[in-house]
Amino acid sequence: MLFGRKKRRIEHLLVVEDEPLVAFDTEHFLRESGFTIVATVDSVADATRVVGGGETLDLVLADINLADGSGVEVARTAFAHGVPVLFVTGQCPADARALAAGCLAKPYAQRDLLAAIDAIEAVLEGGKIPRRLPGSFSLFLGS
């Protein structure tokens, strides 16, 4: 008997990050962890184009401070399309709770990013909020 991985509810990700090294590291790590990266973009304009473009998206990872605006604008577009958002930023915006599934503070360990995605996935599947969450992560769903 072969044991396979459980099919994930969150598989297709959009990474919105304007710092090239952070974007590259995040994309590489998430691909290696089994996720499909639909796109990695560095602007609000490109992110909203991807979100509204009909691609399958399960989660948007969005920085707040982008060269052409705020990741909050990306979150508004994603929210309107029914796509959850995880803010990954140094300072979580005050209005994030209404627009996002959670917020992970930078800098963060890669395992914390996975734990944040797993927690969001668990709540979206109707499960319980995991007992252990990274200290730098705020989960807005189910709370």
For the stretch 73-118, pLDDT in tens is 999 999 999 999 999 998 888 777 889 999 999 999 999 999 999 9
Per-state percent for the chain, helix, strand, coil, to nearest 5? 35, 20, 45
Q: How far is CA 4 from the centre of its chain?
A: 24
Residue 31: what pLDDT?
96
Residue 3: what pLDDT?
56
Please tell us whether the domain made up of 12-25+34-125 is placed in CATH 3.50.50.60: no
Q: Compute the average pLDDT of residues 127-142.
A: 83
**Digit-coded pLDDT (tens) for 23-82:** 999 999 999 999 999 999 999 999 999 999 988 999 999 999 998 999 999 999 999 999
Residue 32: what pLDDT?
96
Residue 1: what pLDDT?
46
CB 56 within 8 A of CB 45: no
Q: Compute the average pLDDT of residues 109-131.
A: 90
Q: CA 117, CA 133: separation in Å to the nearest integer? A: 11
On whether the pTM is more than 0.75, the answer is yes
- Hey, how many other C-beta atoms are within 10 angstroms of the C-beta on 66? 23
